[in-house]
Chain A
Amino acid sequence: MKPAQAGWLFVAPALLAIAVFFVLPVAAALVMSGTDFDIYGLADLRNVRFIGLDNYVQLLRRPLFWQALLNTLFFVVVGVPLSVAVSLVAALLLNSPLARFKGLYRTALFMPVVTTVAAVAVVWRFLLHTRYGLLNYGLSSLGFSPIDWLGNPRWAMPAIVLLSVWKNFGYNMIILLAGLQAIPSEQYEVARLDGAGTWAVFRHITLPSLGPMLLMVSILTMAAHFQLFAEPYVMTQGGPAQRTVTVLYLMYEDGFKWWSLGSGSAVAFVLFLFMFGFTVLQVQASRRWGTA
């Protein structure tokens, strides 16, 4: 057997699996989003009719869709910068020549990343309890009055942002730390000799060198944030006042609670569109920044 034939043989199983269980379903979802596929369709395909763009039109008319979009965008716009900022601070601290026990801290700060999201959401639900939660207890000892984190429409999504930052900052911290370690130390020495202060060094050496990596990290983080689902499912079930219904949560409810698989597919494609659009936007914004 020639290497070329062997090559095809070696990739065939994986390509077949991806074709059957990924590419085909994506195409099918596009078709599905143009049909009235529901629980009767699930039983018998003959019950399915093409309805054109009706699912999309209906979606745009539903207040819950706009609410879900707004909630998701809030989570993205507040959560992503906060998460990346905490990651950057943690990475800078770990990279400081003054820090001790770096390996230990690195492991500790990374631990939430490997935990099960559904399980830590259960834990946080109790940490955020209005009366018996330790977060409010801590706040009250600092003089703040208790917040009804998961019961108040204004605070539920910020509470989920809090959990999400805690859970995820370690991931980007590791990547940014690798980026910081790759900056040649001569650059810092030259800056010091020129009399640059800590802030100037950070602003003119660290940040620009880290630029491409920060862009990549925020794109990946953004994609993950658009896919918020488990936290509201476990902690709030979309409430209070539907303020934690995310786009993916809406897709789940449409598709697998009400069995409107057609409508659910339309929601999924809208989500994809938004993720794609935001990624392009971010790349372009950073390009303009980079050349300015």
Chain B
Amino acid sequence: MRPRLGFLGVNAALVLLAALTLFPLAWMVCASLMAPGEASTYPPPVLPASATLENYRVLFAEHGLVRQAFNSLLISLLATVLSLIFNLSAGYAFAKLRFWGRERIFRLLLGALVVPGQITMMPLFFMLKRMGLVNSTPGVLVPWLASVFGIYLVKHYAQSIPDELLEAARLDGAGEGRIFLRVVLPLLKPIVVTLAVLAFMGSWNDFMWPLIVLTDRDMQTLPVALATLSREHVQDVELMMAGAAITVLPVLLLFFALQRYYMQGLLVGSVKG
């Protein structure tokens, strides 16, 4: 009798927890399909009386959110590429190339992790203003160039590359650049995907820095535009849910597709950190 009860208890608790977790997201999608004003009736409906895509049409056609969706995509893609270029080479060098001061510099980098990034925001804004980069895509990308976490992630993974492999390539006369591109990168493929997913999602979801740097609506990303829009359209629940859905669903889909890589990054980053 006891084990049966335990089985029921554990699985019922999981069903309940999952239902509570998924409910806000499910409601977001349902409400986005409702007619204007439908969500603000009592008792509050969960399912739309008749599903309509009208809110999405209004959002794209009348509020021109296509523009911000494009900005978000462009910025996230660029952030991903930049993060890969800077972090892959540095992470590999810290793991496999002996150079003067390597350990000390790496320890300093890890030490920098305790400083919250927001401290840099005011001087960085001033710097970018002087460079004419406020309200520009390069301005919003600046924090994504290189990250201590990214370097750490790559270094941790690259340490498993056998030295003999690199030595053999050197004996064959391959230069260091060639070794990196031809021998190392293929071996780093899983961590490349992990780093790419983390950078893409991180820059897509980022809020505070884009909010500060992108003042012009045409330059804004989806989360910033949504936050501004939701302050103006407090009553338009259904419209806002459609906006939230188009902001959230792309990253959710990406997560479903590449979950394994995402989780790997998460575990390497914290378990050994």
Is the Cβ of A175 less than 8 Å from the Cβ of B252?
no
Is the Cβ of B92 less than 8 Å from the Cβ of A10?
yes
Report the bound CA distance from A213 to B177 in whole Å. 39
Which A residues are CB-close (under 8 A) to B125? 255-256, 261
Is the Cβ of B100 less than 8 Å from the Cβ of A4?
yes
- A268 and B114 in contact (CB under 8 A), knowing A11-B94, A174-B263, A178-B271? no
- A264 and B21 in contact (CB under 8 A), knowing A4-B97, A120-B244, A134-B46? no
Which B residues are CB-close (under 8 A) to A234? 227, 230
Which B residues are CB-close (under 8 A) to A272? 115-116, 119
Report the bound CA distance from A166 to B93 in whole Å. 39
Report the bound CA distance from A24 to B21 in whole Å. 42
Which A residues are CB-close (under 8 A) to B267? 174-175, 178
Report the bound CA distance from A23 to B223 in whole Å. 28
Is the Cβ of A118 less than 8 Å from the Cβ of B10?
no
Is B121 on the interface with A (CB-CB < 8 A)? yes
Is B41 on the interface with A (CB-CB < 8 A)? yes
Is A229 on the interface with B (CB-CB < 8 A)? yes
Report the bound CA distance from A134 to B97 in whole Å. 57
Report the bound CA distance from A152 to B102 in whole Å. 54
Report the bound CA distance from A22 to B99 in whole Å. 23
- A119 and B243 in contact (CB under 8 A), knowing A3-B99, A25-B119? yes
Q: Is the interface of A mostly helix, strand, loop or mixed?
A: helix
Report the bound CA distance from A67 to B270 in whole Å. 33
Report the bound CA distance from A3 to B17 in whole Å. 53
Is the Cβ of A275 less than 8 Å from the Cβ of B124?
no
How many of B's residues come within 8 Å of A, CB to CB?
Answer: 100
Q: Which of B49-57, B59-67, B81-89, B186-194 contacts A (4 or more CB under 8 A)?
A: B81-89
Is the Cβ of A11 less than 8 Å from the Cβ of B105?
yes
Chain A positions 222 through 244: 1 when the CB is less than 8 Å from some CB of chain B, otherwise 0: 01001101100110010000000
Is the Cβ of B252 less than 8 Å from the Cβ of A230?
no
Is the Cβ of A268 less than 8 Å from the Cβ of B122?
yes
Which A residues are CB-close (under 8 A) to B33? none
Which B residues are CB-close (under 8 A) to A237? 231
Is the Cβ of B121 less than 8 Å from the Cβ of A255?
yes
Chain B positions 87 through 129: 1 when the CB is less than 8 Å from some CB of chain A, otherwise 0: 1011011100111101001000100101111111111111101
6 further interface pairs, Cβ-Cβ under 8 Å (given A10-B92, A230-B208): A10-B180, A26-B123, A93-B10, A93-B17, A99-B11, A114-B205
Interface residues of A (CB under 8 A from B): 1, 3-11, 13-15, 17-18, 21-26, 28-29, 32, 37, 42, 90, 93-94, 96, 98-100, 105, 107-109, 111-112, 114-127, 131-134, 137, 166, 170-171, 174-175, 178-179, 213, 216-217, 220, 223, 226-227, 229-230, 233-234, 237, 248, 251-252, 255-256, 261, 264-265, 268-269, 271-272, 275-276, 279
Question: What are 8 A-B pairs at a CB distance below 8 A?
Answer: A5-B99, A7-B98, A10-B92, A14-B87, A17-B86, A216-B273, A229-B207, A255-B121
Q: Which 6 A-B pairs have the closest CB atoms?
A: A7-B99, A7-B97, A6-B176, A10-B93, A28-B123, A14-B90
